[in-house]
Amino acid sequence: MNQFLVQNIATVESVVKLFCQRWVRHAGQSASGTGKPNEVVLEEPNELVLLVAQHVKQVALVLPSQSKFFLFQKKSGFPFKRGEACSSSRSSL
């Protein structure tokens, strides 16, 4: 799993660079393919990774819940549509 928290964005010689921290699964947790989110933690708080923005292929969503963080992504089976989570039933206003 290569998921990152973007800390800063810069342009170097017209190339957009992302300064990131890596998200890793919580100890003892396997990858979820059932649509359930993975619990994640930041790998190393003081270690940043430099990525070229053009190489980013997909976006994931990490949400805090009390003292934990949960990763939602298409690969884990979480249904995204146009950047939003899908719902099987829609309500009309």
More confident residue, 31 or 11: 11
Q: Is the pLDDT of residue 34 over 80?
A: no
Q: Find all residues with CB under 8 Å of 49, minimum gap 6, and list them.
A: 4, 19, 20, 21, 22
Q: Hey, what are 70's tokens?
A: 């949960």
Q: Which amino acid, one-letter code, is at 89? A: S
Question: What's the average model confidence in pLDDT over 47-73?
Answer: 83
Strand intervals (E) in the chain = 3-12, 15-25, 38-42, 49-52, 61-65, 68-72, 80-81, 84-85
Would you mind telling me the total number of residues written for the chain in this entry?
93
